[in-house]
């Protein structure tokens, strides 16, 4: 992005995100949905808009939508309405989409996210509403005079999340999207896959001279199929609009399509060509009631959100932001961590547990998607080390066996002969003195300045004690004896 552009103009960005709800059946009829199956197999008379068919609302879709509203703190309407939005297109079976217009189920709300530099931002939402997805058109190769339509996706439940136009950079837009995606996945209501289209983003972009209040004319961009596309498209459009304004022309209000191959936008429709959607209340669906009791029962099902979790891991367990972020992005591991900490029930142990998990377990988790060690077992292992019954070094050997499936660290360590550590007491001192006496040449070298001989001595002590001595204590003791 040309910095001169940003000196002169402030970009104003709002995002509209459509998220497919991962319910078992579609929004208005009991047909299941899965991505990527044979075309036109997940259909029924209602999906295809056959004459005489009527919509019946999916309770779980409403529940998912309410949970999203709760997660973002939006105001939920106890009574909301569905509406018909009319236009003609092959992938729209009824010639209208059932959506919500002037009475959406949720208004307001906030999404909090972190930029890469760690600063926090809040983006307010205008509204969230429910609607149904359309089918998919496939455009045949150039030269073919036909297009193909697949209605598998038609009727899948969607929520449309509209942000206020309060973002000012591509980075903010991407940060917002990533946070929204994470919320959807944490709630378990949408898998947030931009490439597959279970989450879709349209960006509204305008620019204005810095220090003016009046919003510029905005364009709407579609077909942003990845975070990179979102970022590239927004930056392109900001620069394009800046060039237009610099030439003394005006930005034309239009809907644009992002072409990732060409790296540019092209006009899909201008404002004059915009369709008149002729919204009116859906007569086949009486008003939707979302009573307070239902909302409260759903509130209990809304888990802790990612950023809240991260903040709590830092404040409650004194983790570093870096470590907390890793846990935030791997919720299963985060929950595992907290289980271990609770089971160990030893103040101050949390950081050590975290370090252990991040160094010894994350690799396995990333490779296999599983945590093969029970939380109670890891807790017990950490307690053995903390209590001085097992050295850190030996604990790793024990843990290697636990990763392979063995349980009960105390028993395991005992069987391996590793249990118990040798304290820096008389016995150890005698051992050290003997070693010094038996290795006069090495002692001489050490006193002459070859401090790395220490490693030889420590190694010998460790061998003699079968690793049960604490290496640091041994080093200190030897230093004292050799000085």
Partner 1 sequence: MISRETVLKIAKLSRLELSPEEIDLVESQLGRILGYVEMIQGVDTEGVEPTAHVLDVTLPLRPDVPATEVIAPSAFLKAAPDSGYGFFKVPRIVDGGEHGSV
Partner 2 sequence: MDPCKLTAVEIARAVRARELTAVAVWEAFEARIRRYNPVLNAFLHINTQAASEAAEIDRRVAAGEDPGPLCGVPVAVKDNIVTTGMPTTCASRILEGWVSPYDATVVKKLKAAGAVIAGKTNLDEFAMGGSNENSAFGVVRNPWDLRVVPGGSSGGSAAAVAARLVPLALGSDTGGSVRQPASFCNLYGLKPTYGRVSRSGLVAFASSLDQIGPLARTAADAQLLYEALAGHDPLDSTSLTDADLAVAPDPVVRPLRIGVVREFFAEGLDPQVRAVMERALESLKAAGAEITEVSLPSARFGIAVYYLLATSEASSNLSRYDGVRYSTRAPDAQNLEELYSRTRGQGFGPEVKRRILLGTYALSAGYYDAYYRKAQQVRTLIRREVAAAFETCDLLFGPTVPTPPFAIGALVDDPLSMYLSDMYAVVANLAGVPALSVPAGFADVGPSAADGVTADGAGPPPRLPVGMQLLAKPGHENTLFALSRLWEGLCPDLTTSQATDYETSEVTP
Q: Kindly identify the residues of this chain, within the stretch 265-304, that bind partner 2 according to CB under 8 A.
A: 276, 278-280, 283-286
Q: Kindly identify the residues of this chain, within the stretch 285-344, that bind partner 1 according to CB under 8 A.
A: 285-289
- Residue 259 or 360 with smaller CB distance to partner 1: 259
Rule CB under 8 A: say whether 58 interacts with partner 1: yes
Rule CB under 8 A: say whether 388 interacts with partner 2: no
Coil, strand, or helix at residue 394? helix
- Residue 24 or 308 with smaller CB distance to partner 1: 24
> Nearest approach, Cβ of 68 to partner 2 (angstroms)?
23
> Nearest approach, Cβ of 315 to partner 2 (angstroms)?
48
Pairwise CA distance, residues 69 & 60, whole Å:
14
Number of residues engaging partner 1 in binding (CB under 8 A): 66
Alpha carbon of 188 to those of 71, 181, 192, 336: distances in Å? Answer: 12, 11, 10, 18
Rule CB under 8 A: say whether 24 interacts with partner 1: yes
> Nearest approach, Cβ of 59 to partner 2 (angstroms)?
12
Coil, strand, or helix at residue 422? strand
In contact, 324 and 330? CB cutoff 8 Å: no
**Other C-beta atoms within 10 Å of 389: how many?**
19
Q: Determine the Cα angle at 435 with ends 434 and 440, to 5°.
A: 105
Q: Which of 1, 6, 35, 49 binds partner 2 (CB under 8 A)?
A: 49
Alpha carbon of 4 to those of 7, 8, 319, 332, 450: distances in Å? Answer: 5, 6, 40, 45, 60
Q: Kindly identify the residues of this chain, within the stretch 126-165, that bind partner 2 according to CB under 8 A.
A: 149
Crossing angle, helix 292-299 and helix 59-72, to 10 degrees?
Answer: 70
> Nearest approach, Cβ of 284 to partner 2 (angstroms)?
5
In contact, 92 and 134? CB cutoff 8 Å: yes
> Nearest approach, Cβ of 93 to partner 2 (angstroms)?
7
With tokens 């439940």, the residue in question is: 157
74 Cβ contact list (under 8 Å, min separation 6): 106, 107, 108, 109, 125, 127, 128
Q: Which of 8, 178, 185, 222 binds partner 1 (CB under 8 A)?
A: 222
Rule CB under 8 A: say whether 400 interacts with partner 1: no
* Residue 260 interacting partner from partner 1, partner 2, none (CB closer than 5 to 8 Å by kind): none
> Nearest approach, Cβ of 78 to partner 2 (angstroms)?
19
User: Which residues form the interface with partner 2 (CB under 8 A)?
Assistant: 45, 48-57, 84, 86, 88, 90, 93-96, 149, 276, 278-280, 283-286
């Amino acid at each position: 992005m040309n910095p001169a552009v940003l000196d002169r103009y402030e970009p104003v960005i709002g995002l509209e995100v459509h998220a497919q709800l991962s319910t078992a059946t579609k929004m208005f009829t009991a047909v299941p949905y899965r991505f990527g199956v044979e075309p036109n197999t997940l259909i029924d008379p209602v999906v295809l808009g056959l004459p005489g068919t009527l919509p019946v609302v999916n309770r779980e879709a409403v529940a998912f939508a309410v949970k999203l509203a709760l997660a973002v703190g939006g105001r939920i309407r106890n009574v909301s309405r569905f509406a018909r939005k009319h236009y003609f297109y092959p992938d729209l079976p009824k010639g209208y989409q059932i959506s919500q217009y002037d009475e959406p189920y949720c208004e307001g709300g906030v999404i909090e996210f972190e930029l890469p530099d760690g600063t926090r931002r809040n983006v307010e939402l205008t509204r969230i509403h429910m609607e149904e997805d359309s089918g998919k058109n496939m455009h045949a190769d150039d030269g073919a005079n036909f297009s193909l339509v697949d209605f598998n996706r038609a009727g899948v439940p969607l929520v449309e999340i509209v942000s206020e136009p309060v973002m000012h950079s591509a980075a903010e837009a991407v940060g917002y999207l990533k946070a929204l995606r994470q919320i959807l996945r944490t709630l378990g209501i949408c898998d947030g896959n931009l490439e597959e289209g279970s989450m879709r983003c349209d960006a509204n972009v305008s620019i204005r001279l810095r220090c003016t209040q009046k919003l510029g004319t905005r364009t709407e961009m579609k077909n942003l199929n990845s975070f990179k596309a979102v970022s590239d498209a927004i930056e392109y459009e900001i620069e394009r609009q800046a060039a237009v304004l610099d030439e003394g022309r005006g930005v034309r209000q239009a809907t644009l399509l992002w072409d990732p191959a060409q790296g540019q936008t092209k006009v899909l429709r201008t404002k004059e060509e915009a369709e008149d959607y002729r919204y009116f209340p859906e007569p086949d669906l009486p008003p939707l009631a979302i009573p307070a009791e239902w909302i409260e029962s759903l509130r209990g099902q809304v888990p802790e959100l990612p950023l809240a979790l991260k903040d709590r891991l830092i404040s409650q367990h004194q983790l570093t932001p870096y470590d907390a972020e890793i846990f935030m992005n791997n919720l299963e591991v985060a929950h595992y961590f907290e289980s271990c900490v609770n089971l160990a029930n030893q103040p101050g142990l949390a950081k050590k547990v975290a370090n252990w998990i991040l160094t010894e377990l994350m690799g396995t988790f990333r490779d296999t998607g599983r945590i093969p060690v029970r939380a109670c077992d890891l807790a017990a292992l950490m307690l053995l080390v903390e209590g001085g019954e097992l050295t850190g070094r030996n604990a790793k050997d024990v843990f290697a066996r636990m990763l392979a499936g063995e349980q009960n660290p105390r028993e395991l360590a005992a069987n391996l002969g590793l249990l118990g550590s040798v304290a820096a007491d008389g016995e150890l001192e005698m051992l050290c003195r003997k070693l010094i006496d038996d290795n006069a040449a090495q002692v001489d070298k050490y006193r002459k300045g070859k401090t790395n001989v220490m490693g030889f001595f420590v190694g010998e002590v460790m061998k003699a004690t079968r690793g049960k001595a604490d290496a640091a204590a041994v080093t200190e003791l030897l230093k004292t004896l050799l000085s």
